[in-house]
């Protein structure tokens, strides 16, 4: 890290601390409905359409609160927007953020905790929601910082037509790594690849956990990655890397750069595609073939495992209209609000009653096997929730990509990865991370 980068981080962290201090002054539940509220989130066109429907429904029920939806296209754009707004002292009233990214803001007390609002609510109760999703947003280990609106997991989307053409049985619950690899090999050839998967820690994690390994030395207070030091973890990592480096069932670097795995799956050139529920609105535009979702394969002698993908509504600290912001969150997290987003295809509702209702499980639109997301709920695990995790994950993903695509040797690349990532765990970071 350069000296300039450090100085920028210190300046932004100081600004965030000032925001947090300002948030502690005055009444905890202040309101200024007349000013309206701004909601910031990331998503593609199909996702944003669902949130616009949510806002429209809210404004009909609460005509006194005007909501300005301010979307950005990508998660990196969202982090840039939040970083600049917090550093400038003008955080959004409400923002939707993944648990793997909110720690840096929570650590600086730049988020107004939702726990007291939920405790006082006549509409929502903690028992309404997935406990695993809630746990990921208890930054201090007890009180809720943000309220999770979904509880997605990593799944295998598959092209049923390609499976039939290759004479491969469709994926089913309890299938193994061997079953997965066998299918991937059979589906690869004539311009088609068996698997599309991003080389990232979030994609590696479920395979590590299924094999009995761990990503870090201490999930609550991590000080180092254990990708090479833990035999069970290393075995899972090697199996994942081999998909590209040995078996060649994943598109090589140049082909992935020219056409993403999602685009390849959309046109029918990919047998299996690993992603969370976020992909569904886009996948529903497919017209030329039948597709569905399956659970992740299980390690030999291992256990079912998947990674929690959860975004939550957070409130910016120091704002004047927390009550209005909470009213929007309360509506969005109620039955009607959760049903609207469930019907859009974007989310697996964190409300268990809506998740188990036709609003989410209806087979009228793909994937027909949406229950795989609910079946995964007991097996969901979260990556560490710390102030520096977003930085750790981002830098780890860059280095994993180098190894996955053979730009650097496996052993040398993994050695460099662990050496370069270790100092980041103890890094003092602010909202400018």
Contacts of 337 (CB under 8 A, 6+ apart): 54, 57, 58, 331
Separation of first and last alpha carbons in the chain: 12
Token reading at 120: 């006082």
Query: Using CA atoms, how far apart are residues 117 and 36, in angstroms rounded to an integer?
Result: 19
Mean pLDDT by 10 residues, the chain (433 residues): 38 38 36 71 90 96 92 92 90 95 92 96 97 94 93 97 97 96 97 97 98 95 94 98 98 96 98 96 94 98 97 92 95 97 92 96 93 96 94 96 98 95 79 47
Token reading at 371: 């229950």
Whether cis (ω within 30° of 0) applies to the bond prior to 372 is no
Residue 212's Cβ-count burial label (10 Å; 0-12, 13-18, 19+) is middle
Can you give the pLDDT at residue 329? 98
Contacts of 235 (CB under 8 A, 6+ apart): 211, 213
Query: Using CA atoms, how far apart are residues 384 and 393, in angstroms rounded to an integer?
Result: 10
Can you give the pLDDT at residue 22? 36
pLDDT digits (tens, 9 = 90+) for 268-297: 999 999 999 999 999 999 999 999 999 999
Query: Using CA atoms, how far apart are residues 128 and 254, in angstroms rounded to an integer?
Result: 46
Can you give the pLDDT at residue 319? 83
CA-wise closest residue to 297 among 233, 236, 215: 236
Can you give the pLDDT at residue 380? 97
Q: pTM of this prediction?
A: 0.88
Query: How many angstroms separate the Cα of 135 from the Cα of each of 151, 251, 313?
Result: 11, 36, 14
CB atoms within 10 A of CB 336: 14
Query: How many angstroms separate the Cα of 211 from the Cα of each of 214, 225, 230?
Result: 9, 16, 11
Can you give the pLDDT at residue 1? 39
DSSP annotation of 249: -
Query: How many angstroms separate the Cα of 240 from the Cα of each of 99, 187, 225, 233, 406?
Result: 24, 17, 17, 11, 13
Contacts of 146 (CB under 8 A, 6+ apart): 97, 102, 111, 114, 137, 312, 313, 314, 315
Can you give the pLDDT at residue 35? 54
- The answer to whether 378 and 352 are in contact (CB under 8 A) is no
């Amino acid at each position: 890290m350069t000296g300039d980068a450090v100085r920028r981080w210190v300046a932004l962290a100081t600004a965030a601390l000032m925001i947090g201090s300002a948030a502690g002054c005055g009444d905890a539940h202040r309101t200024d409905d007349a000013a309206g509220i701004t909601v910031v989130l990331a998503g593609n066109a199909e996702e944003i359409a669902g949130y616009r429907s949510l806002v429209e429904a809210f404004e009909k029920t609460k005509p006194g609160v005007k909501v300005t939806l301010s979307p950005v296209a990508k998660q990196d754009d969202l982090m840039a927007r939040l970083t600049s707004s917090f550093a400038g002292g003008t955080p959004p009233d409400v923002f939707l953020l993944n648990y793997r990214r909110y720690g840096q803001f929570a650590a600086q007390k730049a988020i107004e905790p939702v726990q007291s609002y939920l405790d006082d609510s006549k509409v929502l109760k903690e028992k309404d929601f997935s406990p695993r999703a809630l746990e990921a947003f208890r930054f201090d280990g007890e009180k809720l910082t943000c309220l999770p609106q979904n509880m997605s997991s990593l799944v295998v989307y598959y092209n049923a037509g390609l499976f039939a053409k290759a004479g491969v049985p469709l994926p089913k619950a309890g299938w193994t790594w061997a079953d997965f690899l066998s299918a991937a090999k059979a589906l690869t050839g004539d311009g088609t690849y068996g698997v599309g998967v991003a080389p990232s820690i979030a994609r590696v994690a479920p395979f590590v956990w299924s094999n009995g390994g761990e990503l870090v030395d201490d999930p609550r207070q991590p000080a180092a990655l254990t990708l090479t030091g833990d035999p069970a973890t290393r075995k899972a990592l090697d199996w994942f890397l081999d998909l590209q480096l040995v078996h060649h069932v994943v598109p090589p670097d140049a082909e992935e750069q020219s056409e993403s795995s999602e685009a390849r799956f959309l046109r029918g050139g990919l047998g299996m595609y690993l992603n969370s529920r976020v992909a569904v609105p886009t996948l529903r535009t497919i017209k030329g073939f039948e597709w569905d979702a399956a659970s992740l394969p299980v390690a030999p002698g291992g256990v079912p495992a998947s990674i929690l993908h959860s975004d939550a509504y957070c409130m910016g600290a120091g704002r004047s209209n927390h009550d209005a912001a909470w009213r929007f969150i309360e509506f969005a997290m109620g039955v009607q609000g959760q049903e609207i987003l469930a019907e859009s295809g974007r989310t697996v509702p964190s409300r268990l009653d809506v998740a188990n209702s036709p609003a989410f499980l209806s087979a009228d639109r793909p994937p027909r096997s949406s229950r795989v997301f609910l079946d995964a709920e007991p097996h969901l695990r979260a990556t560490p929730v710390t102030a520096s995790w977003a930085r750790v994950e981002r830098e780890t993903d860059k280095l994993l990509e180098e190894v996955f695509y053979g730009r650097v040797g496996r052993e040398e690349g993994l050695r460099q990865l662990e050496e370069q990532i270790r100092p980041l765990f103890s890094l003092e970071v602010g909202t400018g991370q």
